[in-house]
């Protein structure tokens, strides 16, 4: 079963606390779509290599961990949809005592890394990167000759599609007239814009986590493209920033992201402000349709009355975990808000726990 972001965060925090006394904690990442049987065969080979470990205790612990992972993989017909992260090793803090911990995680997003590592600690960076991603942003860099479509997930930029227009250079072949050459290039440009728009629709239209689209390029080109009839309204409405840049390839995607940092930061702040503005407005105008502080919110959760649970990021972790579990059991939405905005700080000072209700309690 795919974990929620909150569940993944809790497991990562737990795994971070374990440190092996020797190189005996095993991490295995299997990417989405990868053959699970191939990984199983690789780990069988690692068991043979582990027999060369000099320390009898370490050798036994590593082989036991590999055995446990291989046995688990044999129960799977195929790799889960988002890939698989496996962690196994002796987590006992008592020398000479065995406590073999095992975690089988289908992460919140598709894994794109294949890894086997035996170390004194578990490799958690790929999962931590996922925790930074609450939404994704579409990227487009373009000029009249070339376009690159990409995706920004957290801090990772992925190139999805490269395109060229086929527009000839300014030197006219065969002594073509200026007007005819202009008509040819304009026709090819419109066709190129149409192809870009079609690809963007294909990639982004049904993407549930798409928060916005950033477009970069020379001033007339990107504006011309956006003003064309080819972009579907839903995607045009998702454009949150236009940036003047020179590149239209992978380096252009990086430049676009760097030059859009203020836009991206504002998006997160705006999202948080809107949530808290709605909460405070409900609390002020319809106080029976909102709760504030721990006890009232907990009672409303137990009745299944909470539509949206709001927790400050500074809420005690044990309490936060309890409230998230109650919310998930009742299919309530959950929002974690920072203290970096005026509204977020005000919410924290009022207790840091509140909700907007589905019905009166």
**Which pLDDT belongs to residue 176?**
57
**CA-to-CA distance for 307 and 356, rounded, in angstroms?**
6
**Which pLDDT belongs to residue 185?**
81
Q: What is the pLDDT of residues 177-202, one digit of tens each?
A: 777 777 878 888 889 999 999 999 99
Token output for 114: 């294949």
Alpha helices in the chain (DSSP H): 5-16, 36-50, 56-74, 125-131, 178-204, 219-227, 233-236, 250-259, 261-285, 294-302, 317-329, 342-349
**CA-to-CA distance for 22 and 248, rounded, in angstroms?**
49
Range 156-160, long-range pairs (CB < 8 A, 24+ positions): 156/129, 157/253, 157/254, 157/257, 159/250, 159/253, 160/203
**Which pLDDT belongs to residue 207?**
85
**CA-to-CA distance for 106 and 1, rounded, in angstroms?**
6
**Which pLDDT belongs to residue 97?**
80
**Which pLDDT belongs to residue 326?**
94
CA dihedral 12, 18, 20, 24 (to 10 degrees): -40
pTM of the model: 0.54
Q: In the chain, which stretches have pLDDT less than 50?
A: none
**CA-to-CA distance for 112 and 84, rounded, in angstroms?**
10
**Which pLDDT belongs to residue 197?**
94
Burial class from Cβ neighbours inside 10 Å (0-12, 13-18, 19+) for residue 191 reads: middle
Domains of the chain: 5-131 (3.30.960.10), 136-259 (3.30.420.60), 270-357 (3.30.1330.30)
**CA-to-CA distance for 159 and 257, rounded, in angstroms?**
13
The pair phi, psi for residue 355, each rounded to 5°, is -155, 160
Alpha carbons within 13 A on the beta-carbon side of 168 = 13
**Which pLDDT belongs to residue 292?**
94
Q: What is the pLDDT of residues 339-348, one digit of tens each?
A: 877 889 999 9
């Amino acid at each position: 079963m795919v974990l929620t972001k909150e569940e993944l965060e809790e497991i990562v925090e737990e795994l971070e606390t374990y440190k092996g006394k020797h190189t005996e904690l095993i991490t295995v990442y299997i990417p989405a779509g990868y053959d699970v049987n191939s990984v199983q065969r690789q780990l069988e080979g690692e068991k043979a290599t582990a027999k060369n470990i000099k320390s009898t205790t370490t050798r036994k612990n590593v082989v036991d961990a590999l055995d446990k992972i291989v046995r688990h993989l044999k129960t799977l017909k195929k790799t889960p949809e988002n890939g698989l992260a496996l962690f196994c090793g002796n987590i006992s803090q008592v020398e000479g005592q065995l406590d073999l911990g095992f975690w089988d995680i289908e992460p919140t997003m598709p894994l794109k890394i294949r890894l086997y590592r035996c170390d004194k600690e578990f490799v958690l960076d790929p999962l931590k990167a996922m925790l930074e991603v609450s939404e994704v942003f579409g990227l487009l860099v373009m000029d009249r000759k070339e376009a690159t479509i990409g995706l920004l997930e957290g801090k990772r930029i992925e190139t999805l599609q490269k395109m060229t227009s086929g527009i000839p250079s300014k030197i006219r072949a065969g002594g073509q007239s200026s007007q005819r050459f202009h008509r040819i290039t304009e026709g090819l440009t419109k066709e190129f814009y149409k192809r870009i728009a079609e690809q963007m629709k294909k990639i982004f239209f049904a993407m549930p986590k798409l928060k916005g689209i950033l477009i970069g390029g020379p001033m007339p080109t990107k504006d011309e493209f956006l003003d064309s009839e080819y972009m579907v309204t839903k995607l045009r409405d998702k454009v949150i920033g236009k940036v003047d840049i020179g590149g239209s390839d992978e380096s252009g995607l990086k430049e676009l992201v760097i030059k859009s940092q203020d836009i991206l930061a504002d998006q997160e702040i705006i999202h948080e402000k809107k949530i808290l503005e709605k909460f405070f407005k409900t609390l002020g105008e319809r106080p029976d349709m909102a709760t504030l502080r721990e006890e009232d919110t907990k009672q409303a959760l137990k009745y299944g009355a909470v539509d949206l649970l709001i927790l400050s990021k500074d809420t005690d972790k044990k309490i936060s975990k309890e409230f998230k579990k109650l919310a998930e059991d009742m299919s309530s939405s959950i929002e974690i808000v920072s203290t970096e905005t005026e509204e977020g700080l005000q919410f924290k000072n009022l207790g840091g726990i509140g909700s907007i209700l589905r019905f009166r309690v």
